[in-house]
A and B are shown apart, each in its own frame.
Chain A
Amino acid sequence: MATYDFIFDGLGLRQWCGEDTKTTMSMSDLLAQRKGAAEPSIWELPFPSLDNLNDACPAIMQTRGLTSGLEDGFLGIRDSLRVVVDPITQPLSWFLNGALELFQTVPWFIMIPLMLAVVFVASKSWKLVALVGSFILFLAFIDHYDYSMQTLAIIFVCSVLCVLLGVPIGIAMSRSNALQRGIIPVLDMLQTLPPFVYLIPLIFLFSVTEPKLYGIAIILYAIVPVIRLTDLGIRLVDKDVIEAADAFGMTDRQKLYKVQIPLALPNIMAGVNQTIMMSLAMVVIASLVSAPGLGVLVLRGIRNLELGVGLVAGLGIVLLAIILDRVTKAALARVNTSQQQ
């Protein structure tokens, strides 16, 4: 007899509980049967959890029912969800495939100078160009050029999409307190959920071979800072300047484009920097679901216990991180100096 029988007997719910029709047996049931039914002491009183209550009253569902119910529910809506989500996210697959294709087909002797030119335009610093150049040449020299380009291609597409989606969301949030209250918990959740957790439903939704699977995972993970900092940046714009803009009769649109966004730009840029760094972090994890790039090598290092491969790939990721961080920070610093208060 189960521990909590007395509750259901006492409440007269025995009838409602019905007979024990359980056909499956859990491991603990089996163990209990083997031990024989010794009268349990008060010190061994089990917590009235679903499983323990189920022992006493079969009408109460087991915890196993909760997880399988979730799963069945998700599988139930999967097909209809797919009809909606699949076409919407299809462009993401195209972008990722296109970018991967582009970054790898452009020969290295064009790609590297091109990247250095971008670095110079963004930072106006020859020192940084030299640093980035030496890092890329080193990566190419140890035959990690293709992997690095794959990683960069994915980061490029995902970061651009994060900014395109995140900045408008941030602006909308800064304008409505209600929206801000609604979105902040979602952002908190995205930021704290272990990335593996939202890989799971994505795997069910899309086939593992599709690039958009990891694309979505990266964007969900990396979009948070750019939204947060856009919202913050626009809210922090000097109230006096906004008042002046009103006093001179600016329309809302003029205020947004001529005052708020330019003045929030340092914060938005800081958000973009964070977004890029987070997509780099995620692109490694995403190699679990077939994202190409340096992450694949790291994964190989773990799976096959190839210490050297894993460590060198890890170093490559660090170098890419330094490049991306320095270049975006240099761009940010240039924005900052041009508009000190």
Chain B
Amino acid sequence: MSKQIKVSIQHLYKIFGDDPQTALEQVKGGMGKTELLDQTNHVLGLQDINVEMADGEITVIMGLSGSGKSTLIRHLNRLIEPTAGQIMVDGDDVMSFGPEALRKLRRERMSMVFQKFALLPHRTVLENAATPLLVRGFNRQEALEEGRKWLDRVGLQGNHNQHPHQLSGGMQQRVGIARALTSNSDIMLMDEAFSALDPLIRTDMQDLLLELQTELNKTIVFITHDLDEALKLADHLVILKDGYIVQQGEPQEILLNPNDPYIIDFISDINRARVLRVRSVMDRDTSDADACVAEVDADANLESLIALSNGDTNLSYRVVKDDQLLGVLHMQELVRALVPTGAAEDGVRGKQ
């Protein structure tokens, strides 16, 4: 399954301070974040970031606050200028863009959804949703028509003429998403888009996003500090810490083979049975497929399988996807996968 690379970031550095270029040399020479701050009073924002984002996938960038994730996403449309590095979108070098080309990129190829919604408070919901097209100078009627379409699509049929402050947080963010969709860009940047919402609404919005994604196949870059959210949405997960990438890859892969105590810490709290999928723990050897009691979908999570088996660990299941036999799942393997990664003792938190 080789997908086309839509956005690629190579060797991206961001250093905040008066003289970032000198500081950059020091960082490349191996100086760490704390030393740099102590000795030169420069803040190392991002350090040697290399990420490739495939077309039509959701790339989730996860990290705690201060890890540089919001800085990173703002480099994609150059709201923040990098100190060094390359950003390619559809093979075009974004760093070579002049102001006009950059504006065109922001107008037509990338849209953004913000943590604090950032709607225009003096405009109606409909005008807000139509903003990207109005900015591009579309005929007003046409723009509003498009805005109306997307507002309806995100479930805001009756609120077109209200002002943003009359809506709840969840509804405001729906407007934010509608606004991003109206621009009809291939790439959507979502900066902690659901972090300001309460948990139930957040789940709703995640479902909405996944539903929209199956239909629209956008390239989505999603920032979050919430691992559950990251695992739910991600096709490709990038974990940031102090400005560098700790690990990136398929979420299941990271979950089963974490390579850093920081990540082990992160994943020690989650419900593995709900997050892990059958395809990640199955046995690809299909020779004893006949001994299986039933068929299960490759993307089903382990929790559903435990329910299906009623807790009987002697059973095995055929794993299928699109009517194709992929492997066999032994319940014993499943239980083994549920064993925590020995987090607490090795991890940072365990030492405290």
Contacts and interface: CB of A to CB of B under 8 A. Distances in A.
Given A240-B116, A243-B114, A249 B79 contact: no
B163 A339 contact: yes
B153 interface: no
Contacts of B131: 248
A241 B164 CA distance: 13
A339 B127 CA distance: 14
A338 B183 contact: no
B132 A248 contact: yes
Interface residues of B, number: 28
Interface string B62-105: 00000000000000010100000000000000000000000111
Nearest to B131: A248
Contacts, number: 66
Residue of A241, A244, A250, A341 with most chain B CB atoms under a 10 A cut-off: A244
A247 B79 contact: yes
Contacts of B103: 249, 251
Given A254-B135, A340-B165, A247 B77 contact: yes
A160 to B, nearest CB: 24
Contact of B106 (A240, A248, A258, A265): A248
A262 interface: yes
Interface residues of A, number: 21
A248 B103 CA distance: 8
B122 interface: yes
Contacts of B135: 248-250, 254
Contacts of B119: 241, 244
B111 interface: yes
B104 A249 contact: yes
Contact of B121 (A246, A247, A251, A339): A339
Contacts of B106: 246-249
A320 interface: no
B165 A341 contact: yes
B112 interface: yes
A3 B179 CA distance: 83
Interface of A: 238, 240-241, 243-244, 246-251, 254, 258-259, 262-263, 265, 338-341
Interface of B: 77, 79, 103-108, 110-112, 114, 116-122, 131-132, 135-136, 163, 165, 179, 183, 189
Given A248-B183, A338-B163, 10 more contacts: A244-B112, A244-B114, A247-B106, A248-B107, A248-B131, A248-B132, A248-B135, A248-B179, A262-B120, A338-B122
